[in-house]
Amino acid sequence: MTTTPTTSTGGSASASAHALYGPVAADLPRVSEALGSIATNVEFAFLQKMLENALAGTGKMMRPAIALLGGRLGTYDLDRLVPLAASVELLHTATLVHDDVIDEAQARRGEPTPNALFGNAASVMLGDYMFAHAADFIAQTDNTRVVRTFARTLMMMANGELKQDMTVFEYSEDVQRYLDRITGKTASLFGTAAEGGAMVAGAPAEQVEAMRVYGLHLGIAFQIVDDILDFTGDPAVMGKPVGSDLAGGTLTLPTILYMQRKPDDNPVKRAFEGVRRKANIDRAIREIVESDLLEESMHTALRYGEEARNALQVLPAGEVRDTLSNILDYVFARKS
C-alpha cells in the first residue's frame, strides 16, 4: 500500500480514495457535499469563512469511508448512511477545533488553526455550531440506537480530551492510562463510525459487534502510529517540529516506554519538574529517535492492528472485508 490521499478534495484525492475505499469511494463526494452544505445559507460571511476553513481539513475521509463500508453489510441506504458519515467527520472536526483552542495550538498540519486565524471566542462558537450540526446529521439516521451510541462516544471523547489535558506535564509511566486516553480521544469515534454504519444498515448483530471491535482497535493503532510519526515524520509534511507532543507536555507511548527504561537518569522527569526544560526535552527526543523504542511502539500498534484484522473474520469474504483490511494496511503505511 503506497496510496496517499491528499488533503485536497480535488481529482487526485478522488482517484486515491477510489483505490483505498473501493466499493464506497464513489459515494464519499455525497458526504463532502453534506458537510459543505452546513457552510452554505449561513447568515454571516465570517462564520461561512470559518466553516469552510475548518472543513478544508477533511481530506482523507477515513472515518466516513469506514461508516459507509459498515453500511455495505446490510441495506445500503445512502439517505441514512450519508448523514451518519457526515456526522462522524463533523464530530471529529469540531473536536479538533476545540482541542486547538484548549491547547492554544497555532498550526495543524502546517495550516493555521481556527483560533490562530479567528481567535478563541469565535472558535469556541464555531465548534459548538459544528457539534449542533453533527447532532442534526445523526438525528437524520432516524435510529435511536445509533443516536445513543453517538452520545456515548461524545462522552468518551470529552473524557479522553480531559484526561489528556489534565495530565499535561504530569509525570507518568503508565501505558494503560495512555491506552485508555487514546481509546476515548480517538478510537471510540472510529469504533462508532464502523459500528454505526452496520447498525443503520441493519446488519446482523455479530457483524455490528465485529465492526465495533475492528474500528476501536484500528483507532488505537491509528493513534499510536500518529504518536510515532510525531517523532519520525517529516516536519515539513507534518507541519510541526519533531517531538512536539513531548515538548507540549503530552506523554505518548514512545516517551512512556523511554521513561520506563530510564527510571533513574530521566530527562523527561527533570524537564517536567522545570529543570533545564528545553535541553532535557531535546535530549529525550534525540534519544527516543535514536533508540528502538519507536519500533517497539510500532509493534504495539501492530498488535492492535491484528486484533482489528481478526475481528474482520466474522464478516463475509468479499470486497467490503478486503477494503477494511486495506484501510488497516494504510494506517501503518502512512507517512503523515
Do 312 and 210 contact (CB within 8 A), yes or no?
A: yes
CA angle 241, 243, 244 (to 5 degrees): 65
Choice between 97 and 328, CB closer to a second copy: 97
Of 231, 215, 91, residue with least CA distance to 161: 91
Task: Give the residues across from 112 on adjacent strands.
Answer: 107
CB of 189 to a second copy, least distance (A): 12
Cα distance between residue 123 and residue 50, in whole Å: 8
One-letter amino acid for residue 58 of the chain:
T
CB of 196 to a second copy, least distance (A): 13
The binding site for a second copy (CB under 8 A) comprises 43-44, 46-47, 98, 101-104, 120-122, 124-125, 127-129, 131-133, 135-136, 138-140, 142-144, 147-148, 150-152, 154-155, 157-159, 161-163, 165-166
Cα distance between residue 23 and residue 229, in whole Å: 29
Choice between 244 and 323, CB closer to a second copy: 244
CB of 214 to a second copy, least distance (A): 24
> CA separation (Å) from 291 to 123, 278, 305?
39, 20, 23
Cα distance between residue 203 and residue 166, in whole Å: 39
Choice between 152 and 276, CB closer to a second copy: 152
Choice between 212 and 334, CB closer to a second copy: 212
How is residue 32 written as a grid cell?
A: 463532502
CB of 248 to a second copy, least distance (A): 13
Query: What is the phi-psi region of residue 204: left when phi exceeds 0, alpha when psi lies from -120 to 50, beta otherwise?
Result: beta
Choice between 136 and 287, CB closer to a second copy: 136
Choice between 125 and 314, CB closer to a second copy: 125
CB of 127 to a second copy, least distance (A): 8
CB of 53 to a second copy, least distance (A): 15
Task: Give the residues across from 108 on adjacent strands.
Answer: 111
